[in-house]
Structure 1
Amino acid sequence: MAEEFTSEKAEASAWFRQLRDEIVDAFEELEQSHDEGPLSDAEPGRFEVTPTKRESSDGSDAGGGLMSVMRGGRVFEKVGVNVSTVFGTLGERAQMAMAARKGIPGMTEDPRFWASGISLVAHMQNPHVPAVHMNTRMFWTPHAWWFGGGSDLNPCIEYDKDTAHFHGEQQAHLDPHGKAHYPRFKEWADEYFYIPHRKRARGVGGIFMDDYSTGDWHADFALTQDIGRAFLPAYLPLVRKRRTTAWDEADKDAQLVHRGLYAEYNLVYDRGTKFGLETGHDANAVLMSLPPLAKWV
């Protein structure tokens, strides 16, 4: 049986909030830049911050977080950076899923849980700037604890140098924890972000891990932190390089069609979407990842 992990929970929750603040500041700074090129005359976007709350069945405190969304900016068409810490009792369906997926005994006897994390999805104005997803999280039950997360790049117009840079930063942050992590987590991402009914990946991959627990909480948390730290140096240079590239209607059409893949994946396969809705978290926060516009052919 896992311990209560009171101090570890507090440390993880504070870290996810810190990472959220750093990313929000960096994205608003991008919006304030004055590069010449497409969208340079548009008004800079700002994040709208809304508290979120998990709905418990008995009305008791079940935690919540912050939903930070920017719409219609100069660089970002829609971007959400959510952070939350929620807790309570897992419902019967969630208990069954947890026991089956992770092999955790005793879920029906003591189905308490605690979860904290950050989740980010960015959909861009310029079709040459790739969309991106990132999340890291910690999950605890009285019977086990584990970490999960990663980030993956979703360009509609692919540039090999951009893909190499994104993956290179991921590897550089993972290698200090062991050379086997990057190839393992890259393969995991390739498998996880595959869309079976389309027989293709939704993007050019990245890294992903789930149910990760070696038994050394501090080592696993340090690894999770570096997954989060890799995000800005992996992604910001790509945005700065591509945000003023000229684009036409054909490029925009390709972007909207590609977004359809993203929507399909998140609604049909994504575990985080299913878990968030199943456990009563704010539906707008859970579905924040969906693009503002998409197209199907």
Structure 2
Amino acid sequence: MTDPFDSRKARAAAWFHTLRDRIVAAFEDLEDRFSDGQPGRFQVTPTTRADGGGGLMSVMRGGKVFEKVGVNWSEVHGVLGEKAQRAMAARGVPGMAEDPRFWASGISLVAHMVNPHAPAVHMNTRMFWTPGAAWFGGGSDLNPAIEYAEDTAHFHAEMQRACDAHGADYYPRFKAWADEYFFVPHRGRARGVGGIFYDDLNTGDWEADFAFTQAVGEAFLPAFVPLTERRLGTAWTEADKDVQLIHRGLYAEYNLVYDRGTKFGLETGHDANAVLMSLPPVAKWT
């Protein structure tokens, strides 16, 4: 019997793949425009999940703009393990005990910059399906080591623009969710200056929810690229780099201890290198 969601899964997976392609091209263009030598390029590696599906891991290391950046796309499926089933059931996903099959596709991005004045950034959008429910999630948040108020304002304005076109309450709700989600309890502080975060989005109108998720993905380059262009020419010192490396340590702590996507990826057997591509190339702890 054909699953009525099959065509929707295919549409979502294809769009996430297209978004991945556009971001990779935009980041390589930044390398072309701001490199005085050999520009950085992504290395693309197919990934597989033992129980079904896979994706593309695209990582650039040692660029002139990006010290390390990963833009991963995946489409995976299979049966959730007992721990993942319990986590889904705790979030209110129906039918986990009766039928723990799942399908998921999305894009995940983390960029760590060469210049300490240029902010690191995270973005992801995804669709998740089980026989009992289907929903979208994602968001984007800015992680400067050295904050500039105008950069923070620009980033949030682009996120708000994406939200406001789809729901008057989306931006305040999803900004507050990001502030809560990206808080590092053991440090008593946020990991960055926030953005938006949402999960389990299922309003009953799949097309509307997909359109919003597309808007979040579309907002990323206008929100981030101008900040990178603005800061790449800023002179920096070894003291600035030290601040950046310490902030990266905070970022690594969060991703390894709290991040929901990291936990899910490792627990469901996805390629560990792809799951952990978010970790910075170099970090420091005091």
Q: Could you tell me the TM-score, scaled by structure 2's length?
A: 0.98
RMSD: 0.9
Partner secondary structure for residue 177 of structure 1? coil
The Cα of 1:202 is off from its aligned counterpart by 0.2
Which one of the candidate residues 137, 154, 157 is aligned to 2:146? 157
Is it true that 1:13 corresponds to 2:13 in the alignment? yes
Aligned pairs for 1:191-210 (under 5 A) are: 191-210=180-199
Displacement, 1:43?
2.1
SS in 2 for 1:255: helix
Alignment of 1:1-297 (within 5 A): 4-34=4-34, 40-56=35-51, 62-101=52-91, 103-297=92-286
Report the Cα offset of residue 93 of structure 1: 1.2
Checking the alignment, whether the CA contact within 8 Å between 1:4 and 1:142 is kept in structure 2 is no
- Could you report, residue by residue, the CA deviation over 1:15-70 in whole angstroms, capped at 9, with x for unpaired residues? 00010000000000000014xxxxx43421000000000112xxxxx000000000
Matched to 1:189, the amino acid is: A
Distance 2:143 2:40 in 1: 22
State percent identity of aligned pairs. Answer: 75
**What displacement does 1:193 show?**
0.2
Partner AA of 2:64 in structure 1: R
Q: Give the conservation status (yes or no) of the 8 Å contact 2:127–2:137.
A: yes
**Contact 1:31 1:45 (8 Å CA) reproduced:** yes
Counterparts of 2:248 and 2:157, CA distance in 1: 25
Output the CA distance in 1 between the equivalents of 2:173 and 2:60: 34
Task: Report the residue type matching 2:207 in the other structure.
Answer: H
The superposition leaves residues 250-283 of structure 1 with CA deviations (integer Å, 9 ceiling, x where unpaired) of: 0000000000010000000000000000000000
TM-superposed CA distance for 1:8, in Å, is 0.4
Q: How many aligned residue pairs are there?
A: 284
Distance 2:159 2:16 in 1: 18
Taking the aligned partners of 1:4 and 1:265, their CA distance within structure 2 comes to 38
Q: Does the aligned pair in 2 maintain the 1:51–1:65 contact within 8 Å?
A: yes
Structure 1 gap ranges (5+): 35-39, 57-61
Whichever residue aligns with residue 19 of structure 1, its letter is L
SS of 1:238's equivalent?
helix
Note the C-alpha offset of 1:219: 0.4
Alpha-carbon distance between aligned partners in 1 of 2:117 and 2:93, rounded to the nearest angstrom: 44
Q: Is the 8 A contact 2:68 2:113 kept in 1?
A: yes
Mapped partners of 1:118, 1:107: distance in 2: 25
Deviation at 1:110, TM superposition (A): 1.0
Q: Distance in 1 between matches of 2:50 and 2:257?
A: 23
Q: Secondary structure at the match of 2:70?
A: strand
After TM superposition, give the deviation of residue 108 of structure 1 in Å.
2.2
Q: Match of 1:32, SS?
A: helix
Q: Which SS does the other structure have where 1:162 is aligned?
A: helix
Whole-angstrom distance in 2 between the partners of 1:104 and 1:174: 25
- Report the CA distance between 1:94 and its aligned residue: 1.0
Cα distance in 2 between the residues matched to 1:167 and 1:123: 19
> Structure 1 stretch 283-292 or stretch 87-96: which is displaced more?
87-96
Secondary structure at the aligned position of 1:95 is classed as: helix
TM-score by length of 1: 0.94
